Structure 1
Amino acid sequence: MNFHWRIQGQDYDLTQRGMVMGIVNVTPDSFSDGGRYLDTGRAVEHALTLVAEGADILDIGGESTRPGADPVDEAEELKRVLPVIRAVRSETKTLISIDTMKANVARAALEAGADIINDVTGLRGDPMMCRVAAETEVGLVVMHMLGTPRTMQQQAVYEDVVAEVQTYFEERLHILAEQGIAPERIVLDPGFGFAKTLEHNISLMQALPLLAVQGRPVLVGVSRKTLISRLLESDDVNDRDWPTVALTSYSRELGARIVRVHQVKANMEALRMTEAILGPKE
């Protein structure tokens, strides 16, 4: 099966070579690096470092979506992300993703130079988000989540988590197509850690080949997440980086095409090594 992602009218072939999405949190409260890159200058410096390490995409966000996180108002989110996007765009042609649930933030970010909308609500949280997406040719990340970041962990109840995520993806692709959004522009994110228990996360990881619904590429975002600390029985965030690398390699072997990570270089190397071993017969 061939995997392509259409972004701004250009097709990116992910069949043999996947993408690394580097995380740039312009927030005071993200679970792993909250506050470290809230300053615009430091955020831009970090983003360019990720590019130098091999990032294919920079995912810039101004609102934490960690479990229990409080929402951020639109004006504050814009204040955080727009200067960073503008500055990064002036320095590099690397793809930029805006990590937001708000249509107005997405629109402003696209005008500032972003190429992708990464919406943890799957374009459901803001009724205007579909219109923003339909009026552009940007790439889209459609994620699975129940509830909101503040309430999601109380809603992690499934009869069959794999089947329900599959059904969700089928429904979203159908609805978005009716809104004028071509499936070729969409990649699917199972939402590891978003309204999922440890057991749900493991089941979804094992079932990755089944989640490429309608042949759409799958994005995996497990970097430094709590599921790793649960398995390692360690609360130290620094203990989560090498397990993230292991999961990058494993998820690529199972068919993931994009990984969203904090540390780019090590995960990029793991991705490339795994792809070399898989070879063209995959």
Structure 2
Amino acid sequence: MDIGKYHLSAERSTLMAVLNVAPDSFYFHGDRCVEPDKACDKALRLIDEGADLIDIGGESTRPGASPVMLEEELQRVLPVVKAIRKHSDIPLSLDTTKAEVARQALNEGANMVNDVSAGLFDSKMLEVVASHRVPICLNHLPSSSFETMHVQRTYGDLLGEISSFFEDALKRCHQVGISSDNILLDPGIGFGGKSPQENVHILTQLHRFRSFQCPLLIGTSRKSFIGHLLDLPMEERLEATLATYSIARRHGATIFRAHDVAPTRRYLDMLDLLITEEGEEQKI
């Protein structure tokens, strides 16, 4: 799969850097970047630190966040996309659930859509993605609205329900002309009212979703389930986040969405080296 100039490979971990331009995002690594110039400067730093992709978000999806009106999200996101494009051709992903935000950002040079609702919050989203022939990441979120995305749920068969959700999402994509070659899957760690223990279970069972033959993206960076399990504040969750990447990589994930780019890049590079060496030794 190609995302802009970048080619996804199963042999190398892909680092998707988070660039939040919403003032209420749950974590900022460094300065808040709500102004386009500051956001662009940070994007260039993220590139220097080893980011392969940059995921731009203008609406926080943290628990307790309020939805953002269309015009406000456009005012946050579009100037940032334009500013980055003046300086770099790094692939840009748009973290949005709104089709119009995706459409305008793609027209300004974005290369991918990361929709936490998998196209369910806005019925036009998949058509926009199909018409632009760009990749989309489908996140497991069994909710019908922004307001209910973090409501606690009881799952009878968690992995089975995620698989069924993916099957339906893929079918909806295929119906509008999005091929599996342009689809990434995210099991929705921290979304859909999953308990901390359920999030851990997903990480250890990611191989169950490899049958869909779509790249797997994981977003665990500093999330609250880590804090609940280890009693850690947000600022002290980096090492635990890296541990989740390790188990996720070994179970099939290849794209990692992260706030802390430099240490994550070093960690993933070493992890890839070890996994490659282990595979070579097993051939002997």
SS at match of 2:273: helix
Structure 2: gaps (5+ residues) = none
Match of 1:247 among 236, 244, 249: 244
Asked if 2 retains the 8 angstrom alpha-carbon contact of 1:7 and 1:137, the reply is: no
**Alignment correspondent of 1:66:** 62
Aligned to 2:207: 209
1:21 corresponds in structure 2 to 16
Question: Displacement of 1:18 after TM fit?
Answer: 2.0
> Residue 227 of structure 1 is aligned with which of 225, 242, 246?
225
Conservation of the 8 A alpha-carbon contact between 1:67 and 1:151: no
Q: Is 1:121 aligned to residue 117 of structure 2? A: yes
CA 1:230–1:149 in 2, change beyond 3 Å: closer, same or farther? farther
Structure 1 unaligned runs (5+)? none
User: Quick one: which of 169, 174, 177 aligns to 2:166?
Assistant: 169
Distance 2:160 2:150 in 1: 19
CA–CA separation in structure 1 for the residues paired with 2:99 and 2:211: 25
* Alignment-derived partner of residue 92 in structure 1: 88
Say whether residues 1:105 and 2:107 are aligned partners: no
Residue number in structure 1 paired with 2:130: 134
SS at match of 1:247: helix
How big is the shift at 1:213?
Answer: 3.8
Partners of 2:212 and 2:156 lie apart in 1 by 23
Local SS of the residue matching 1:20:
strand
Give SS of 2:138's match. strand
1:155 Cα deviation (Å)?
4.3
In the TM superposition, residue 129 of structure 1 has moved relative to its aligned partner by: 0.6
Distance 2:76 2:6 in 1: 30
The answer on whether the counterparts of 2:196 and 2:228 sit within 8 Å (CA) in structure 1 is: yes
Distance 1:6 1:186 in 2: 11
Give me the whole-angstrom Cα distance separating, in 2, the residues matched to 1:33 and 1:76.
20
Q: Quick one: which of 249, 255, 259 aligns to 2:256?
A: 259
Give the CA deviation at 1:149: 4.2
Give 1:7 deviation, angstroms: 3.3
Q: Deviations over 1:82-133 (max 9, x none)?
A: 1111111111111100110000000000011100000000011101111101
The structure 1 segments of at least 4 consecutive aligned residues displaced by more than 4 Å after TM superposition are none
- Return the offset for 1:11: 7.8
1:75 aligns to 2:71 (yes or no):
yes
1:249: Cα distance to partner?
2.2
Q: Distance in 2 between matches of 1:206 and 1:199?
A: 11
Other-structure match for 1:275: 272
Aligned pair 1:193/2:190, yes or no? yes
Deviation string 1:62-93 (CA, Å, 9 cap, x unpaired) is 00011121110010000001111111111111
Given candidates 49, 52, 62, the residue that maps to 2:45 is 49
Contact 1:248 1:267 in 2 (8 A): no
In the alignment, is the contact (CA less than 8 A) between 2:246 and 2:271 conserved in 1? yes
Deviation track 1:218-258 (CA, whole Å, cap 9, x = no partner) reads 00000010011111112x21101121122222211221010
Normalising by structure 2, we get a TM-score of 0.92
**RMSD over aligned Cα atoms:** 1.7
The question of whether the paired residues in 2 share the 8 Å contact of 1:24 and 1:59 is answered with: yes
Question: In the alignment, is residue 36 of structure 1 matched against residue 32 of structure 2?
Answer: yes
Whichever residue aligns with residue 25 of structure 2, its letter is S
Matched with 1:180 is 177
Alpha-carbon distance in structure 2 between the residues aligned to 1:115 and 1:18: 19
AA in 1 matched with 2:80: V
Identity %: 38
- What is the distance in 1 between the residues matched to 2:74 and 2:146? 19
Equivalent-residue separation in structure 1 for 2:166 and 2:107 (angstroms): 28
